[in-house]
Amino acid sequence: MTTAGTTEQIRDELARRTLELCAMPSETCSEEKIADHVEGLCRTLAGAASTVRIGNSIVCTPEYSHAEQKPVIALVGHLDTVKCAEEQPTEIRDGRVYGCGSSDMKAGVGVMLALLARWQTIAPLYRPIWIFYDKEEGPHEENGLEPVLRSNILPKIDLALVLEPTDKSLQMGCMGTIHATLTVAGKRAHSARPWQGENALYKAAALLEKFSGLTRREVCFGDLTFYEVMVVTRAWTSNSANVVPDSAMLNVNVRFAPGRSPQEAADELRAFVGDAAEVEIRDAAPSGAVYLDHPLLDPWRVRQKLTIAPKQAWTDVARFTDRGIPAVNFGPGETAQAHQAGEWCSIDSLEFAYTHLLDFFGASASAS
């Protein structure tokens, strides 16, 4: 299939590519099968010499003539998904591709592969490279993109396009995130004689009430508004059922806006908690810088009349901008569908991302 086909043929190809990827279970830390599949496609489409595998991540750098004269654009997508819902369908129906990870982000990987199938003709303006990686949905320190960025196999990247779902908009920056365990201390006792102890759960209630009173905080970059939050997502104890707990633990997720560091966010959390609990930072990821007027993006954004929006979540844009590499989010899929039971991606959004990226690279819809 080529882009010279009809719109319906293109939509069908994109939908089938996405469905094929969704049919491959690839929960975080179980990406070997899908990595094998993508590596095989890269070798077939661009050649073995252009394809390098690092663990379950694949980098594809086709050799273009006069490539050294063109800015390098990285197309970036993760292969893994969260654990699938038991009731998740995997099918094409009613203008949608249903499947675990369809919006987040096998649709993005499908568009990347469709563009790779046309690598020889899509890039009059820039030199694209493809980065597929694993473990995005897991802990920050295990993310498969990190070994790729630390390797010496990548050319100097001028701009990274991360194909996370963006609701047909160009999403700038991303929120930073930390996960912390708050431990509230009590005194252990038999549950038949609770007056002999001090129930850590009851003490934690006051701290929970304090968190429940928090509201979102606005941080603005031009017309973009990010919302910073601190939210309790889990509460647990480790005692037996007939024991007054001597400790109660809370998981707190902090989302902080571009311009702030993980250390600043952690310091604010500790100040907020005070001496009510011990704070342990378990996982932290930086925020992604905002590039509102980037010269490689502006002509395309204006020409295509793309809506600019903030990324009210964390993405691997932050890994690039933390290294001084400009990066933005632009990909197919609906953000509200990410991690949902019955997750789907509209075929309209697949076509939208594909045709707009063709235009970005300087190719027309009639390129083959």
Of 3-12, 110-119, 186-195, 268-277, where does mean pLDDT reach its minimum? 3-12
Has residue 2 got a pLDDT over 90?
no
Tens of pLDDT, residue by residue over 139-175, are 888 999 999 999 999 999 999 999 999 999 999 999 9
361 within 8 A of 119, measured Cβ to Cβ: no
Using DSSP, state whether 294 is helix, strand or coil: coil
Whole-number pLDDT of residue 67:
64
Whole-number pLDDT of residue 4:
45
Tens of pLDDT, residue by residue over 279-322, are 999 999 999 999 988 999 999 999 999 999 999 999 999 999 99
Whole-number pLDDT of residue 6:
76
Q: Beta strand 278-285 with 176-185: parallel, antiparallel or unpaired?
A: antiparallel
Give the N- to C-terminal CA distance of the chain in Å, as an integer: 9
Whole-number pLDDT of residue 5:
57
325 within 8 A of 162, measured Cβ to Cβ: no
Tokens matching residue 139: 């802990």
- Is residue 96 classed exposed, middle or buried when 0-12, 13-18 and 19+ CB atoms within 10 A define those classes? buried
Tens of pLDDT, residue by residue over 76-86, are 999 999 999 98
Confirm whether 136 is a catalytic residue: yes
For the beta sheet containing 344-346, the strands, ordered from the edge strand earlier in sequence to the opposite edge, are: 91-93, 96-98, 344-346
243 within 8 A of 314, measured Cβ to Cβ: no
What is the signed CA dihedral for 9, 361, 112, 71, rounded to 10 degrees? 170
275 within 8 A of 207, measured Cβ to Cβ: no
Count of C-beta atoms within a 10 Å radius of residue 332: 34
Has residue 109 got a pLDDT over 80?
yes
Of 3-17, 52-66, 208-222, where does mean pLDDT reach its minimum? 3-17
Count of C-beta atoms within a 10 Å radius of residue 48: 10
Q: Beta strand 96-98 with 189-190: parallel, antiparallel or unpaired?
A: unpaired
**pTM recorded for the entire structure:** 0.91
Has residue 366 got a pLDDT over 70?
no
Whole-number pLDDT of residue 365:
54
Q: Rg of the chain's alpha carbons, rounded to an integer? A: 23
DSSP assignment, residue 247?
A: E
Whole-number pLDDT of residue 364:
59
Tokens matching residue 255: 């989302």
Whole-number pLDDT of residue 292:
87
Has residue 348 got a pLDDT over 80?
yes
Helix (H) or strand (E) holding 303: helix 298-304
Active site residue: 13, 39, 136, 228, which one?
136
- C-alpha to C-alpha distances, 75 to 304, 331, 332, 357, 364, nearest whole angstrom: 19, 10, 13, 10, 18
Active site residue: 13, 31, 80, 322, which one?
80
Whole-number pLDDT of residue 126:
94
Residues 6+ apart with CB under 8 A from 300: 306, 356, 359, 360
Per the listing, tokens 């591709």 go with: 97
Tens of pLDDT, residue by residue over 178-200, are 999 999 999 999 999 999 999 99
Confirm whether 298 is a catalytic residue: no
